[in-house]
Chains A and B, each alone.
Chain A
Amino acid sequence: MSAQSLNYEHSPRIKHRADKIFAKDEAKIHVRTDRLFGGLMLFQWLFGIGCALVVSPRAWEGVHAQVHLHVWVAVLLGAAIISFPLILVVMCPGRRMTRHIIAFSQMLVSALLIHLTGGRIETHFHVFGSLALLAFYKDWQVLITASAVVAIDHFARGMWWPQSVYGVLAVEPWRWLEHAGWVVYEDVFLIYSCIQSRRQLWEISFRQAALEAVNEDIEETIRIRTSELEHTHEALEVHRARSAESAKMAALGEMAAGIAHEINNPLAIIHGNAGQLKEMAEMGTPPTGDVTKMAKKIEATAMRISKIVKSLRSFAREAQDDPFQCVPVKTIIEDTIEFCRERFRSHTTDLIVDPIPESLRIECRSVQVSQVILNLLNNAKDATETLPEKWVRLSTQDLGNTVEIAVTDSGKGIPQEIRAKILQPFFTTKEVGKGTGLGLSVSKGIVESHRGKLILDYQSPNTRFLVRLPKTQEPAKKKEAA
């Protein structure tokens, strides 16, 4: 962090930006102070008129009175003094010339007020107050202009009208320095204050520039990281799709034997019946009833084979872009069981399917849901292979807005040490070459794409996986539409 700060400190880019911020802030201060003096000038003008009206409203000559010259001076000369700075405040706010003219005018206002209040010593503080106000500009040169006006005023009047300033007709040539010296005394502190203020303002600007640079760097880093993440995400999606496909193909491979068996049995039935028909035909006139019965048997068995092949074709194709359709849960489960019933039978594992209500329906991609159920059933079958008691139970439950499909086997649950990893990709407890380690993770992805959950039920005494799927996908559709 400190090395970073050091880099920023010496960065020309940040210095350049800091200079810009500083110039902008300084310009704001100048404009604001110009406006302040604009208002102050007007106020002082009115105040001067008020002073003249109170202190010297009328001049007398014996019994004759007329408006005192001070009143006219307050109105006319006062207006003349403030007019040009006010014009500049409106026309050229923030410009160097404007604030120097204001400084010049402010000192003239001081002189005018001193006159109008009868040269009261108290009014001389207006000069010092004005200098302090001029320091608001944070521009020490303005103070020099104002002080020069005071010095020149005292010098000039000391030369030509010494009595008006010093009260005596003859003064020492250096006398004006005594008066100007007190102004300089104040100037020293005000100039120091101006320089310090400007330095602080620049430091603030520099810090702001550095902060902006840090923010820009962070934003750039975020942009790069986001881009990298997007690429990674895309790669992951591709990989996940391939994994899903691999898992499905693996499942298909595993099914192949069972399906072959599933088809072999009906084929044997067909073959047997066809042979009997042939024999009966060779013998002469077969009984019509028997022929019809055998033909029906052949037809029903062929239909069964056709159904299995149809399901297999459906299962084997890409399903991720299928539309969501409202399908009876019973249909999905029965179609899935078609793929594995024979395998369960050949492995002497009892497959128990609890009754499924006809009315229970879910909006889903049925092929994908079927893939999940098949995967869970296959896993359950494999897990019970070495157990003395081998059974797998499939049950469903209506949870209101959700349907729960539970696959329970006779195993005693997943060991605690691998529970956290059981749903991770490429994690498998099966022996090498038997499992890809993708089945559960792909199933989890499918269930989640249905806004559902795949849960390992820790509460069950047996190994039990729960698939919870919403009955409808309306909220997801609305979200996509939005």
Chain B
Amino acid sequence: MTLQKRSLVLGLASCWLIAVTGGMFALWNYSVTPGAPAGPPVTWPEGSAAHRAEGLPTLVMAVHPHCPCSRASVDELNVLMTRGKDRLAVNVLFIRPKGMPEDWEKSDLWQKAAAIPGVRALVDVEAIETQRFQARTSGQVILYDARGKLVFSGGITPARGHAGQSAGKAAILAFLTLGNLPVRTSEVFGCPLFGPNAGCQRKDQGCQHNH
């Protein structure tokens, strides 16, 4: 190989390495950057349309019906339910923002969630219930114990749109099987449930938007 050609290859290799490393870094960074956390009420909110089973812990998951990242969250919920089916009441709230047509929320995620045994899929018209639980990111999971006391708030995926073992899922499973929680919060990965220009309907709840 001539010196000129070698220099060209070396130059190309350097540029390529920088571009690829930068790209991969950006992708990983995007994947592990969490969404805005929820600020749920410490006790089960009165008047909620979500079903709360007597004597059982209740889990609420807020989902944007078209968020591709939440597919992993629903998958992980499915995994969770294989071990906690009879120990847990689960509500998955599919938001339908104001102005969206009927059945807008009936996406493949809806079908997926509704198909999980023991899971109740609910249409959250104008995201009232979601805001009641102060969830801001799709895939947000909020867990109340049998007495209606908040025990956990966070996500159940390890990264954005990635299935697999996560701190949130492990905590919930530990709570269901051992009765204790190693962590009470975890990062949640998913699309923002509310758009950048959507004003919070309940300012008092400190609603913020994640971009």
Residues of A within 8 A of B (CB): 55-65, 68-70, 73, 76-77, 80-81, 83-84, 87-88, 91-92, 95, 97, 101, 105, 108, 111-112, 115, 118-121, 157, 161, 163-169
Minimal Cβ-Cβ distance residue in A for B183: A169
Task: Knowing A56-B69, A167-B165, say if A87 contacts B12 (CB, 8 Å).
Answer: yes
Task: Knowing A60-B66, A61-B195, say if A169 contacts B167 (CB, 8 Å).
Answer: yes
- Bound complex: CA of A359 vs CA of B175, how far in Å? 130
Once the chains bind, are A77 and B67 in contact (CB under 8 Å)? no
Residues of B within 8 A of A (CB): 1, 5, 9, 12-13, 16, 19-20, 23-24, 26-28, 30-32, 64, 66-69, 71-72, 97, 99-100, 138, 158-159, 161-167, 169-170, 187, 191-196, 198, 209, 211
Once the chains bind, are A59 and B166 in contact (CB under 8 Å)? no
- Bound complex: CA of A59 vs CA of B193, how far in Å? 11
How close is B165's CB to chain A, nearest CB, in angstroms? 3
Once the chains bind, are B28 and A167 in contact (CB under 8 Å)? no
Once the chains bind, are B158 and A111 in contact (CB under 8 Å)? no
Minimal Cβ-Cβ distance residue in B for A124: B164
9 residue pairs, one from A and one from B, having the closest CB atoms: A62-B195, A119-B162, A167-B165, A56-B68, A167-B158, A84-B16, A77-B23, A167-B166, A62-B194
How close is B166's CB to chain A, nearest CB, in angstroms? 4
Cβ 8 A contact of B163, one of A65, A84, A119? A119
A contact patch SS: helix
Once the chains bind, are B27 and A115 in contact (CB under 8 Å)? yes
Once the chains bind, are B167 and A163 in contact (CB under 8 Å)? yes
Once the chains bind, are B158 and A164 in contact (CB under 8 Å)? yes
* B13 / chain A contacts, CB cutoff of 8 Å: 84, 101
17 A-B pairs with C-beta separation under 8 A: A56-B68, A59-B191, A61-B195, A62-B193, A73-B26, A73-B27, A77-B27, A95-B1, A111-B24, A115-B27, A118-B69, A118-B162, A119-B72, A119-B159, A161-B32, A163-B158, A163-B159
- Bound complex: CA of A91 vs CA of B11, how far in Å? 14
How close is B1's CB to chain A, nearest CB, in angstroms? 7
Cβ 8 A contact of A55, one of B31, B68, B97, B170? B68
How close is B107's CB to chain A, nearest CB, in angstroms? 10
Q: A61-B195, A157-B28 are in contact. List 17 more A-B contacts (CB 8 A).
A: A55-B68, A56-B161, A60-B64, A60-B66, A60-B138, A60-B192, A61-B209, A61-B211, A69-B30, A73-B23, A118-B163, A119-B72, A119-B158, A121-B163, A121-B164, A163-B166, A164-B32
* B1 / chain A contacts, CB cutoff of 8 Å: 92, 95
How close is B140's CB to chain A, nearest CB, in angstroms? 14
Once the chains bind, are B163 and A120 in contact (CB under 8 Å)? yes
* B169 / chain A contacts, CB cutoff of 8 Å: 167
- Bound complex: CA of A61 vs CA of B136, how far in Å? 10
* B198 / chain A contacts, CB cutoff of 8 Å: 62-63
* A73 / chain B contacts, CB cutoff of 8 Å: 23, 26-27
- Bound complex: CA of A64 vs CA of B198, how far in Å? 10
Minimal Cβ-Cβ distance residue in A for B195: A62
Task: Knowing A73-B23, A118-B71, say if A61 contacts B191 (CB, 8 Å).
Answer: yes
Once the chains bind, are A118 and B97 in contact (CB under 8 Å)? no
